[in-house]
Structure 1
Amino acid sequence: MAQTVELISPVDGSVYLTRDVLSKEEGFAAAARAKAAQPAWDARPLEERIALVMRAAEIVGETTDRMALELAHQMGRPVRYGGEFGGFKERVDYMAKIASESLAPTMVEDSGAFRRMIKRVPWGTVLVIAPWNYPYMTAINTIAPALIAGNTVILKHAAQTLQVGERLAEAFHAAGVPEDVMQNLVLDHDTTGALIAERAVDFVNFTGSVGGGRAMEQAAAGTFLPVTTELGGKDPGYVRADADLDAAVDGLMDGAFFNAGQCCCGMERIYVHESLFDAFVEKAVAWVKAQVLGNPLDTETTIGPMANVRFAREVRAQISEALEAGAKAHIETMAADDGGAYLTPQIFTDVTHDMRVMRDESFGPVVGIMPVKDDEAAIALMNDCQFGLTAAIYTKDAEAAERLGDRLETGTVFLNRCDYLDPALCWTGCKDTGRGAGLSELGYQALTRPKSYHLKKA
């Protein structure tokens, strides 16, 4: 009997869908088909590959109502937010726009005697292991530029969002991308690891937990396969004394609680200059109390359930431990809180870095807020973390923010905003957040390898 995976909807705990898991033999056969299809795909003109990828994106955009509904069922995001097509399309459009220039050869010499240049050539088959929290946008970050650059793609989506992988494959195939060039596979951990360990693929892109990233690197050990990872985060925000208080509250609270706090670059800890601390906390508490926790299928709901009860369990554990250690909770339990996936968003003060809620990734609707006396104290606390994805600074002094940003151990520095992925900038991290370069021109460099040509003319 084939192994199956069940997708449990956070809406009501029911089984939303069931899918068969491919056997190891089937997984390797699919990878072989991808490798066989890659040369012909790469031989197609670049503009043709771009057009096919853009057409696939258009097809995805034809069903945004369905996207929003299916995302609510799969991972709990309220339908009022309308899915992910805006960011999805922004990323595809930008990567298509810069493809010709980014993938063009670097000419060193073209004389009567020599032609010397560096070309960018595809790795071959790119294995994309995508997460559930922004399942369309995180997947397309790699799928679109990988295909445009001439790679074939195998997508393994998270079990919580299996249907998203299917919808993406449907769109690419309907656009005219050959089925073996873009494959969506349901794989278990053993087969995924074996595909990497036995070099059945040529490049691995993984977004997920630190433990998952370690497993990818361990599987690739000794193979010399390139593995890029975007792992955990505990992203900080800093509100300086001269910040626009209302803008800081609105931006940081949205950054902390949108998507039930399940954002790669969500704000999980906030440091506020002591002169603004009391006012910031008062306004932040009012902001959270105005939110509506409830069924994501209800258009009045602003915060839905967490994607899975086990994810909520970890957040509840951090909350409980913080309370026991003396942290002050500011939000009373909401009516829709069921002790399971539906979790009251919470603000803590009187927190320290000895508490897991300020140290470990929460990936849920909870944030700790601490007062700081100056920039030096803020920098020390912001850097006191094993992760480094993004950091946000709220101030009217852009030059000061840049100077502070130079000292922060992070992949992206935001000024007066947070929780946004700009496709023109490299999406990257440091420390336990992993290593990689997504989107921007550097995204194309990651998904291709340099090949040098030293041609002596007769």
Structure 2
Amino acid sequence: MNVINPATGEQLDSYDEQTWSDVDSALERASEAFEEWRKQSIRERERLLETAGRVLRNNKNEYAEIITLEMGKPITQARAEVEKCAWVCDHYAEYGSTYLEDRHHPSPPGTTVKTVHQPLGPVLAVMPWNFPFWQVFRFAAPYLTAGNVGVLKHASNVPGCAIAIEDIFREAGYPEGVFQSLLVSSDLVADIIADDRIRAATLTGSGPAGRAVAAAAGEKIKKTVLELGGSDPFVVLDDADIESAAETGTQARNQNGGQSCIAAKRFVVHTEIYDKFIEALIDSFESLVVGDPTDENTDVGPQARVDLLTELHEQVEASIEAGATLVTGGEPLDREGAFYPPTILTDVPDGCPVDSEETFGPVAAVYEVADEREAITLANNTEFGLGASVWTADRERGEHVAKQIDAGCVYINQLVKSDPRVPFGGVGESGYGRELSEIGIKEFVNRKTVWIE
């Protein structure tokens, strides 16, 4: 696995890809570790997780640098990602035992009936490169605390992140085999899922990858959670605060170079404020600093790989050819590295790539709608259903609109984000299951009914 710095095109490092023999040994360690880990008290598991949070904070700059060099995230955003990982550790260290308390039920006199929450076993996690620490800790913090053990198959362009995360759990004092990283190709994923030692699987990634994991797990009747792509609408109604919506919309579209499933991708704007909003959005987009991700002043770094930039630009070009109007950006920067500028397209035709496909980069498609009803219809005109953002001065109106948008989460006067305290996940082509909060920690447990006569 060759690691290429997307900001320079230079090779940073090279890692040996592991074989099936290595996988077999890792799965055996995971299986053996689970038998002891499941017996560990949840208070002890919480203590270790709290320690993992301290390790993250103590070495924040080191981990942020790995993220930035491997996938190009601006260094300030990389530090924020590490901090967020520490936060999810703090959250489950504090609330894990509360979330997993026995639940008592009505029963006949003299009996006790309750639901207990017991771990399933080794869980395979297939994780993406765009948030290479956060996506992993989002699954590991709750699932390990519930008593499962984790086996990570990370994206092939961030092997340094995968190894660093395994080291974090080791340094925090987790027993050998409770969390392991595998440096393997995607070709082995189906075989790993089919192995009897793996009891469940979770994936964050593309639709095709999600289908493959779901199919492999379904053959063996194993539980899965999938967080897939998104084409999130950012709905701006006629009574919205235009400047605030444009400023937050700029962040929601361009954070992490636009490489986020929950990035605002389709801006749906009421005709009464359309012109003013477009003007504010253009100003905000063009104010962003695109450049060296190790520079503290950089807002937008490179795309994570050259092939991703090429695919994004093809989507933009095809959309312009179909009739979309390019307002700003739209051409790869003439410099070393995979840099693409913040881009805005208006007059977007139905069915063109930026309308119907997920754009994984700093490209905003902007639509003009006549009223609230048309805004809702357009927001729902997608196969995806991950998140949505609604902007209005009337909170009750915002909630009314939110209830009519088909998505796993809707934020009113705020960008879409994941938060340890609330459930996160999508519907439709954006996947199923939920991560985070109490719901998330219970995805991979056996909710066992115990009746005591």
Q: Choose the corresponding residue for 1:414, options 401, 411, 416.
A: 411
Change (3 A) 1:428 1:397: same
Secondary structure at the residue paired with 1:388?
Answer: coil
Change (3 A) 1:124 1:67: same
**2:267 pairs with 1:270:** yes
**2:180 pairs with 1:183:** yes
What's 1:199 paired with? 196
Q: Choose the corresponding residue for 1:362, options 337, 359, 362.
A: 359
Secondary structure at the residue paired with 2:272?
Answer: coil
Instruction: Please tell me the residue identity of whatever aligns with 1:79.
Output: I
Q: Choose the corresponding residue for 1:33, options 29, 34, 38.
A: 29
How far apart in 1 are the matches of 2:390 and 2:306? 33
C-alpha contact (below 8 Å) 1:27/1:191 kept by paired residues: no
Aligned positions of 1:156-171 closer than 5 A:
156-171=153-168
Alpha-carbon offset, residue 8 of structure 1: 1.7
**2:46 pairs with 1:50:** yes
Structure 1 residue runs of 5 or longer lacking an equivalent are: none
How far apart in 1 are the matches of 2:257 and 2:334? 13
Instruction: Please tell me the residue identity of whatever aligns with 1:9.
Output: N
Secondary structure at the residue paired with 1:201?
Answer: coil
What's 1:376 paired with? 373
Alpha-carbon offset, residue 111 of structure 1: 8.0
How far apart in 2 are the matches of 1:351 and 1:38? 52
Which one is further off, 152-161 or 361-370? 152-161
Structure 2 residue runs of 5 or longer lacking an equivalent are: none
Secondary structure at the residue paired with 2:433?
Answer: coil
How far apart in 2 are the matches of 1:74 and 1:250? 28
What's 2:317 paired with? 320
What's 1:218 paired with? 215
Alpha-carbon offset, residue 286 of structure 1: 0.8
TM-score when normalising by structure 1: 0.95
C-alpha contact (below 8 Å) 2:56/2:86 kept by paired residues: no
How far apart in 1 are the matches of 2:330 and 2:380? 32
Alpha-carbon offset, residue 163 of structure 1: 1.2
Which one is further off, 55-64 or 427-436? 55-64
C-alpha contact (below 8 Å) 1:199/1:225 kept by paired residues: no
Which one is further off, 184-193 or 356-365? 184-193
C-alpha contact (below 8 Å) 2:313/2:330 kept by paired residues: no
Instruction: Please tell me the residue identity of whatever aligns with 1:153.
Output: G
**2:82 pairs with 1:106:** no
How far apart in 2 are the matches of 1:267 and 1:172? 33
Alpha-carbon offset, residue 324 of structure 1: 1.1
Secondary structure at the residue paired with 1:251?
Answer: helix
Instruction: Please tell me the residue identity of whatever aligns with 2:355.
Output: M
Change (3 A) 1:67 1:412: same
C-alpha contact (below 8 Å) 1:120/1:451 kept by paired residues: yes
Aligned positions of 1:205-284 closer than 5 A:
205-284=202-281
Alpha-carbon offset, residue 68 of structure 1: 2.3
Which one is further off, 178-187 or 382-391? 178-187
How far apart in 1 are the matches of 2:282 and 2:357? 23
C-alpha contact (below 8 Å) 1:426/1:437 kept by paired residues: yes
**2:91 pairs with 1:65:** no
Which one is further off, 414-423 or 273-282? 414-423
C-alpha contact (below 8 Å) 1:145/1:447 kept by paired residues: no
1:171-222 per-residue CA deviation (whole Å, 9 max, x = no partner) reads 1111110121111111222322101123330110100010110110121232
**2:131 pairs with 1:141:** no
C-alpha contact (below 8 Å) 2:203/2:227 kept by paired residues: yes
C-alpha contact (below 8 Å) 2:74/2:301 kept by paired residues: yes
Instruction: Please tell me the residue identity of whatever aligns with 2:238.
Output: A
Change (3 A) 1:142 1:332: closer
Alpha-carbon offset, residue 338 of structure 1: 3.9
**2:12 pairs with 1:16:** yes
Alpha-carbon offset, residue 252 of structure 1: 0.8
C-alpha contact (below 8 Å) 1:56/1:172 kept by paired residues: yes
C-alpha contact (below 8 Å) 1:41/1:181 kept by paired residues: yes
What's 2:294 paired with? 297
Number of corresponding residues: 452
C-alpha contact (below 8 Å) 2:6/2:337 kept by paired residues: no
How far apart in 2 are the matches of 1:110 and 1:22? 53
Secondary structure at the residue paired with 1:248?
Answer: helix
How far apart in 2 are the matches of 1:220 and 1:65? 38
Change (3 A) 1:326 1:335: closer
C-alpha contact (below 8 Å) 2:52/2:86 kept by paired residues: no
How far apart in 2 are the matches of 1:111 and 1:167? 53
Which one is further off, 378-387 or 72-81? 72-81
C-alpha contact (below 8 Å) 1:210/1:231 kept by paired residues: yes
TM-score when normalising by structure 2: 0.96
Which one is further off, 55-64 or 233-242? 55-64
Alpha-carbon offset, residue 408 of structure 1: 0.8
Instruction: Please tell me the residue identity of whatever aligns with 1:234.
Output: S
C-alpha contact (below 8 Å) 1:293/1:336 kept by paired residues: no
Identical positions, percent: 30
Secondary structure at the residue paired with 1:363?
Answer: coil
Alpha-carbon offset, residue 445 of structure 1: 1.4
Secondary structure at the residue paired with 1:241?
Answer: coil
How far apart in 2 are the matches of 1:88 and 1:387? 26
1:137-162 per-residue CA deviation (whole Å, 9 max, x = no partner) reads 11111101111101111111111221
